[in-house]
Amino acid sequence: GAVVSQHPSWVICKSGTSVKIECRSLDFQATTMFWYRQFPKQSLMLMATSNEGSKATYEQGVEKDKFLINHASLTLSTLTVTSAHPEDSSFYICSARVLSLARTYEQYFGPGTRLTVT
């Protein structure tokens, strides 16, 4: 299946600093990627939809100025958590949309990035 990578896999940063997380589709092109956040023992929460060459679409309640998303190429989307605070500590997961041979869409997920803000 399609492979999606994320970098870094984990990061610790100080409160007030910014952190960038990369999401790459390794063997396919993805015009659409999605960013999720997951807190312990909870389900994935969609943060935003990232479209190559255009602005991201954010879900209600997600601050677009705090979570900057850039989808500059067909294989790379980045999420920057600006002025991070301890409450931003979470597991961030990206996914890429792929059109299957059956002409249906499938999503392939990255391994996730554990962010800890101290």
Partner 1 sequence: LAKTTQPISMDSYEGQEVNITCSHNNIATNDYITWYQQFPSQGPRFIIQGYKTKVTNEVASLFIPADRKSSTLSLPRVSLSDTAVYYCLVGTGGFKTIFGAGTRLFVKA
Q: Which of residues 29-58 bind partner 1 (CB under 8 A)?
A: 32, 34, 36, 43-46, 49
The span from the CA of 109 to the CA of 86, in Å, is 25
Q: Can you name the residues that pair with 38 across neighbouring β-strands?
A: 91
User: Helix (H, G, I), strand (E, B), or coil: what is residue 87?
Assistant: helix
Q: For the chain, first and last CA: distance in Å?
A: 37
Give the shortest CB-112-to-partner 1 separation in angstroms: 5
In the window 58-117, what residues touch partner 1 (CB under 8 A)?
A: 59, 91, 93, 95, 97, 100, 104-112, 114
Q: Which is nearer to partner 1, 44 or 76 (CB)?
A: 44
Q: Residue 88 gets which letter from DSSP?
A: G
Q: Is 8 in the site for partner 1 (CB under 8 A)?
A: no
Which residue from 66, 101, 108 is spatially nearest to 87, judged by alpha carbons?
66
Binding residues for partner 1, rule: CB under 8 A, are 1, 4, 6, 32, 34, 36, 43-46, 49, 59, 91, 93, 95, 97, 100, 104-112, 114
